[in-house]
Structure 1
Amino acid sequence: MRVIAGKYGKHRLKAVPGNNTRPTTDKIKESLFNIIGPYFDEDTRVLDFYAGSGALGIEAISRGAAEVYGFEKNRQAIATIKENVAAVGIEDQYTLKAGDNRKAIGQLRLEKPDLQFDLVFLDPPYKGQQLVDVIESFLADNWIAADGRLVCELSKEDVLPEAFGPLQVVKDVTYGITRLVIYRMEEEV
């Protein structure tokens, strides 16, 4: 596993030991970033809600994002994120929130009432995922910026709605067993 492009391109990243997480392959990660735009401006804020090894957030920073908030509850994954962030040297741009994701994001809203994200990654474990609930709560709590994008990585059999109010599907692609559904905030008509 590695950083694909940008400032930290080709930097090796550690995977989370064991079978509790499913890392995004380099091929899918490269395709994903080609779809959403290969590089970001210095104002881009990213939320990686199921951070795993931290690879998606680290890739976003490497491609110019200002900061990433990574959420993770698995202890091995938390340790891996810390190692990967330190190895790349981006501790000042990557904020790790450990513990129950829903509680942690509620706490973040109390700490930063006006924070919004330009890019949101939702890559939960395939089993037992509750993406619809998570997306609806993100919209209700105003986490997604006006023209923000939300990227869901899920099993190819899983189904998501074409829209969540102003959040509309702009791309839906399948790679083997993995499906990427990309939403963008659009003005409601």
Structure 2
Amino acid sequence: MRIIAGKYKGTHLYPPAGLETRPTADRVRQTLFDMLIHAEWGGQYFLQDSLVLDAFAGTGALGIEALSRGARKGFFCEKNKSTRQVLEKNLTRCHCHLNSVIYSDYQALPITEHPCNLVFLDPPYRKNLIPYTLQTLENKNWLSTRSIIITEIAQDENLMLNDNYHMLAERNFKNTCLKFWVKRK
């Protein structure tokens, strides 16, 4: 697993211990960022000097990739203590630990005055955590009407969100499905 583009391009990340964490594959991350930058609804706004939240960070690959491509600050949430230690090592390895903040869980996020432009939600598959996480993020002001929310779920998993969210695009892979959303209100 490595960073694909930007100032940390080619940096190999430390892998997680055990099977509890499922890192996003390099080719899935490449497609995700290509779509984010080149889609009609996307653009550099979501990366250049932006605030990024990686709510189920694991190794931090998604958030670090955004920092590598020009994001100003990354906020990372990781509940598992040993995985959080791997995340810390990866942030240090990429020299982005000074513009990153780690929280033990998305529920531990404080209320913010500066919503994130880009939000990654890649929770454990088939646990239906995304709707509850979005509600928590809304309540704590981490989402604005311009935020792009990218969810990663299992290919056979069904994700239903309320009318506050509009799906912009979807991309399917062998075992994974990426969905790109924008908050309507």
Partner residue of 2:175 out of 174, 177, 182: 177
Question: What is the root-mean-square deviation in Å for CA atoms of aligned residues?
Answer: 1.6
Cα deviations by residue, 1:144-189 (Å, 9 ceiling, x for unpaired): 1231100000011222236541x21001111011001110234x6x
- In 2, Cα distance between the equivalents of 1:15 and 1:145? 32
- Over the matched positions of the two proteins, sequence identity in percent amounts to 29
In the TM superposition, residue 30 of structure 1 has moved relative to its aligned partner by 0.4
- In 2, Cα distance between the equivalents of 1:127 and 1:12? 29
8 Å Cα contact 1:47/1:117 also seen in 2: yes
- Structure 2 residue aligned with 1:54: 60
* Structure 2: gaps of 5 or more residues: 39-43
- Give the TM-score normalised by structure 1: 0.88
Secondary structure, aligned partner of 2:98: coil
- In 2, Cα distance between the equivalents of 1:124 and 1:8? 25
Aligned residue pairs, count:
178
Pairing 1:123-138 to 2, within 5 Å after superposition: 123-138=122-137
1:32 paired with 2:32, answer yes
- In 2, Cα distance between the equivalents of 1:150 and 1:164? 14
Amino acid at match of 1:20: E
- In 2, Cα distance between the equivalents of 1:156 and 1:2? 23
- In 2, Cα distance between the equivalents of 1:181 and 1:68? 21
- Give the TM-score normalised by structure 2: 0.90
Partner residue of 2:79 out of 73, 84, 104: 73
8 Å Cα contact 1:162/1:169 also seen in 2: no
- Structure 2 residue aligned with 1:41: 48
- Structure 2 residue aligned with 1:143: 142
- Structure 1 residue aligned with 2:41: none
8 Å Cα contact 2:106/2:133 also seen in 1: no
- Structure 1 residue aligned with 2:106: 101
Amino acid at match of 2:129: Q
Secondary structure, aligned partner of 1:92: helix
- In 2, Cα distance between the equivalents of 1:164 and 1:67? 29
- In 1, Cα distance between the equivalents of 2:57 and 2:163? 23
